[in-house]
Structure 1
Amino acid sequence: MSTRPGAASVPDDALVEAVDGLRRRDPLASAATVFVPWQTRTLLVAAALLIAGLVLLPGATVVIVTAAVAVLYLATMVQRVLLFVAGLDERTILTVSEAEARELADDDLPRYTVLVPAYGEPEVIGQLLEHLGALEYPADKLEILVLLEADDTATVEAAQAAGVESPMRLILVPPAEPRTKPKACNYGMQFATGEIITIYDAEDIPDPLQLRRAVVLFRRDPGLACIQARLAFHNSDQNLLTGWFAAEYGLWFRYLLPGLASRRWPVPLGGTSNHLQAKVLAEAGGWDPYNVTEDADLGLRLARRGYRTGVLESITWEEANSDAINWIRQRSRWYKGYLQSCLVALRRPRNALRVIGLRGTVAMTLLLAGTPIAAASNLIFWLVAFIWLLGQPAAIAVAYPAPVYYMALTSFVIGNVLALYSTLLGARAGGDTNLLMACLLTPLYWILMAIAALKGIWQLLVRPSYWEKTVHGLDGQDDERTGHDRDHESESAVPSS
């Protein structure tokens, strides 16, 4: 096991810190507890009122619930439009030219730490070393910590066989629950010596100049605490699902995240290629090992501490998920993690309002809680619409008085048109001109989203910290050309907390 020289007690202490450091120092910032008491009471009261209303005043209660969902849809749609319009301004995504990146003298560069957590990845370790070796950064200013579980024998042996040479170091994480990517990153962070820390997954192919570009941005704007690079997929044309996934990511990383950053609202980070000031990361408490979207959670925690995040025009290539069942497993985990992150962020509502403001708090809530709740509600309302088309029963008409009906109709017509249009622009921004059919068929993608959202909400209640296995390497392309890219989340299995 790798340790600091002369610090034999570090591994045990480091493991305790990796697992329980955040929870011990700031319990309200950890998702180890899903609902704090006041949130539990609020949910129980809301459930009791809903049940009582359905029993005593069913008609009025159904109208209220329908109106509430219609308002949620409309608010979510308006927010997406505002973020998209903000993201259309090319200045919202930060750019650093190759010339600017290479102008920096090697002696003038800060020390950089790259964390690479991997679990059950023996087949990609060779490609990992090759891709990281392509980073254009002086070896004496770079350390790459390859974080492997000590009992993941196959991956450890594959790494040793491939040869881990300076500036790379192999760090063996002692086996302990939860076996998550954030726990491994927390462990590795305690061995890091860099002024800037970034994360790459074992299957990523980052822009070789990405580290230098990030250094330029940090110096250009000292107020930045974190820089998120863009993520894109190399296999967008594999099937319809990968086309949907690629178009969605194009919209997310080219328009919506830059739109959030430009308004200085909380930015939910991606699970890779985020570059962080080491001192800020330590102050924020590192990552939450009990949150299944630790990246989004960290982005919100930085915002709640008053720090800013920017989005960098520098691409890290990955593999889009090409199997529907596999995609649902992955997306349900993301939706569950979004809800976890939102619950944690709202545990101190007055603090959130004071630091990020009312608009930022509303934007955060709509994005992280509104997205999965609206997606899950789709199945119910699609069923209601189908029943109405079949027989137009009076009971359904009662649930849609004129104000609710026109609000829902506005969301349905205008919202769908805008969603399709923005998805097309997202695909175009990603430079992929082969996604027209996938974009036009996006409503079918929403069915998968609805299923994943329902599953994620259910798992939040019964298995909140379970990290569901995602199968990778389904692109069927040659590893040498693609680097065997896979999705940007870790894939450890975690027992429920």
Structure 2
Amino acid sequence: MSTPEGVDPESEAFKAEALHLAVHGLRESDPLASASVAFMPWQRNTALAIVALIVLCAVFFPLGTLATLVAICTAGYLAVLIDRLLILTRGMDRDAILTIDDERARALSDDELPPYTILVPAYGEPEVVGDLIGALSAIDYPADKLQVLLLLEEDDSPTIDAARNAGIGSGGYEHIVIVLVPAADPRTKPKACNYGLRRATGDIVTIYDAEDIPDPLQLRRIVAAFGDLPETVVCIQAKLAFHNAGQNLLTQWFTMDYGLWFGFLLPGLMRSRAPIPLGGTSNHFKRDVVTDIGAWDPYNVTEDADLGVRIAASGYSTAVLDSTTLEEANPDPINWVRQRSRWYKGYLQSWLVHTRRPVQLWRQIGTISFIRFTLILAGTPIIACLNLIFWFISLSWILGQPSVIGKLFPAAVYFPALIALIIGNAATIYMNIVACRENNRPDLLLACLTVPLYWLMMSIAATKGCWQLLRNPSYWEKTFHGLGTSSEDSK
């Protein structure tokens, strides 16, 4: 999927072909792997049949139906809780995450370093171009082996002007190339990455967001790690953290959240051989393999999570590296909800896509991994939505103890639900505290203790994402950057 030798990448013919492949490549080569259609007919009909059955039962057996639904939801809560604790215990092992020290990374000679391509998709972000140049300039890698493609939408004049005024493409930044992505639907990050992949020359390809500040030795560590790992490992995910963790309570919650996810849960998934929902940045791929499996789905709003599952389903695997890329944590609640609702919508999108052939996926990744894939991609957003319902039920019971709520919780349901409520919430807070302790972040203790407020925001975002999945599944809700301030205590 790279530029064929002898072909001018600036020619209209090349651009037209690259755009066609960026938009239609996956859905033409493997239609069932594309989220261009949100629901297959059988998925839609099955969902409608289940809803109709629940309504019918509720008409004739209202309390029994509701009690059954509460029991099913409680079982789901317990399954997710137990699975998360198992993943955490595996992620706590010292060898759960790969480590390449500075000395070894710097010891690699230029001859040992392969050509490397960095894709930097950006849209409507002129304010971060200067920081981007500084971050890219700090990367320790031979310039003659490093290709940086700044992927800008051709109608995004402010960002294009900011990049050109900053001297990108000249004045010491010759290895950074501005690639203008033709304006075409869907207007998504994965479409831009697919378009840029046609211009890629590196054996390894990675993605950085425009506001990212990667570890300067990250590319060298990746090369060394790939040399140590089996050939079946085709992707390495670096850790993500935030440079503005101390800006407000929301950024502290977000930092705490990422510390647990990238520091322990993703490494735990790696050890369990389950599909890894990749982060949206700092994932490093063997270019030939990611091209062979269809690259990114331009219609999926969490193309990273989708590709992580597709990697596992294709017989390959992903590793997690102890090298950190700093990002900007959303300090604005509305902006945060926009971003998180897209993530939740994309998780459900990815689950729907990969369960179109459930038997095939089960055979490809195994029973335990299939269950875990469902608990993470479907369970995470669904449980976040259900929280609103169960919090309302709990509040109603505390305030008035209506008898109907008591009837919804017979003993066989009440005690598991009580375990999910007390032990589940306590265990989740405990996991966050452990992660902050292991990450040497005592400054996040307040965030750990007030995290139920963060869960409320998650539930609002999940509900919004689920609604948007029905109304506008492939709409990419833009996250605005440049709102953060640096934090001297960020790690």
- Distance apart, 1:296 and its partner CA: 0.6
| Residue among 66, 87, 96 paired with 2:100 | 96
Q: Is 1:443 matched up with 2:464?
A: no
Q: 1:381 aligns with which of 368, 390, 396?
A: 390
**Within 2, Cα distance between the matches of 1:19 and 1:429?**
42
Counterpart CA distance in 1 for 2:458 and 2:485 is 24
Q: Tell me the CA shift for residue 482 of structure 1.
A: 11
1:184-218 deviation line (CA, Å, top 9, x unaligned): 00000001011100000111000011001001111
Check the 8 A contact 1:31/1:290 in 2, yes or no. Answer: yes
2:312 partner amino acid: A
Q: Which amino acid aligns with 1:246?
A: T
Do the aligned partners of 1:34 and 1:464 also contact (CA within 8 Å) in 2?
A: yes
Mapped partners of 1:475, 1:126: distance in 2: 15
Q: Give the match for residue 212 of structure 1.
A: 220
Cα offset, 1:129, TM superposition? 1.6
Alignment match, 1:488: none
Report the count of equivalent residues.
480
How far 1:153 sits from its partner (Å)? Answer: 1.0
Secondary structure of 2:220's aligned partner:
helix
Query: Matched residue of 1:50: which SS?
Result: helix
Q: TM-score, normalised by structure 2?
A: 0.95
Letter in 1 for 2:134: E
Task: Measure the CA separation in 1 of the matches of 2:7 and 2:51.
Answer: 57
Unmatched segments (≥5 aa) in structure 1: 484-497
> Counterpart of 2:209?
201
1:44 maps to which residue?
A: 48
Match of residue 339, structure 2, among 311, 321, 330: 330
Paired residue for 1:489?
none
Deviation sequence 1:350-386 (CA, Å, 0-9, x none): 1111111111011011011111111111111111111
Provide the C-alpha distance between the structure 2 equivalents of 1:428 and 1:239, rounded to a whole number of angstroms: 20
Tell me how far 1:37 sits from its aligned partner: 1.7
Q: Distance in 2 between matches of 1:122 and 1:29?
A: 34
The answer for the alignment partner of 1:492 in structure 2 is none
SS at match of 1:272: coil
Q: How does 1:308-319 map to 2 (within 5 A)?
A: 308-319=317-328
The letter of the residue matching 1:151 is: D
Give a deviation string over 1:407-434, Cα, whole Å, max 9, x none.
1101111111111111012223333221
Paired residue for 1:299, among 308, 311, 329? 308
Pairwise mapping of residues 72-471 of structure 1 onto structure 2 (< 5 A)? 72-164=76-168, 165-222=173-230, 223-471=232-480
Is the partner of 2:210 in helix, strand or coil? coil
3-state SS of paired residue (2:378): helix
Q: Residue 125 of structure 1 aligns to which amino acid in structure 2?
A: V
Task: Give the secondary structure class of the aligned counterpart of 1:123.
Answer: helix
How far apart are the structure 2 equivalents of 1:236 and 1:482? Answer: 8
- CA deviation profile, 1:52-76 (whole Å, cap 9, x unmatched): 0111111111111000100000000
Greater shift in the superposed pair: 117-126 or 181-190: 117-126
Q: What percentage of aligned pairs have identical amino acids? A: 55
Could you tell me how far apart the structure 2 residues matched to 1:332 and 1:65 are?
25
Matches of 1:352 and 1:141 in 2, distance apart? 38
Q: Distance in 2 between matches of 1:466 and 1:155?
A: 21
Q: In the aligned structure 1, how far is the partner of 2:454 from the partner of 2:126?
A: 32
What secondary structure sits across from 1:472 in the alignment?
coil
Map Cα deviations across residues 117-157 of structure 1 (whole Å, 9 max, x no partner): 11111121122122111111111111111111111111111
Counterpart-to-counterpart distance in 2, 1:393 and 1:169: 65
Aligned to 1:493: none
Matched to 1:156, the amino acid is I
- 1 CA distance for matches of 2:56 and 2:131? 59
1:57 and 2:66 aligned: no
Change (3 A) 1:294 1:150: same
Paired residue secondary structure (1:276): strand
Is the CA contact (8 Å cut-off) linking 2:282 and 2:325 kept in structure 1? yes
SS in 1 for 2:180: strand
Q: What is the Cα deviation at residue 257 of structure 1?
A: 0.4
Quote how far apart the aligned CAs of 1:266 are: 0.3
Which residue of 21, 26, 41 maps to 1:22? 26
Contact 2:80/2:379, CA 8 A, preserved across alignment: yes
- Rounded to whole Å, the distance in 1 between the matches of 2:130 and 2:244 is 21
SS in 1 for 2:443: coil
| 3-state SS, counterpart of residue 147 of structure 2 | strand
Aligned-CA RMSD value: 1.6
| Shift, 1:42, TM fit | 1.1
Instruction: Report the secondary structure of 1:198's partner residue.
Output: strand
State the alpha-carbon separation in 1 of the partners of residues 381 and 236 from structure 2.
26
Cα distance in 1, alignment partners of residues 364 and 58 from structure 2: 39
**Matched letter for residue 466 of structure 1:** Y
Question: Partner letter of residue 260 of structure 1?
Answer: L
Distance 2:90 2:489 in 1: 33
1:305-333 CA deviation, whole Å, 9 max, x = no partner?
A: 11110000000001111111111111111
Asked if 1 retains the 8 angstrom alpha-carbon contact of 2:211 and 2:481, the reply is no
8 Å contact from structure 1 (residues 145, 169) kept in 2: yes
Q: Distance in 1 between matches of 2:353 and 2:36?
A: 10
* Corresponding residue SS for 2:222: helix
Q: Is the partner of 1:143 in helix, strand or coil?
A: strand
In 1, the alpha carbon distance for the partners of 2:122 and 2:404 equals 54
Q: Per-residue deviation at 1:268?
A: 0.3
Following TM superposition, by how much is the alpha carbon of 1:477 offset from its aligned partner in structure 2, in angstroms? Answer: 4.3
CA distance in 2, matches of 1:231, 1:127: 17
Measure, in 2, the Cα distance between the counterparts of 1:477 and 1:353: 45
Task: Decide whether the 8 Å contact of 2:233 with 2:317 is kept in 1.
Answer: yes
Amino acid corresponding to residue 276 of structure 2 in structure 1 = V
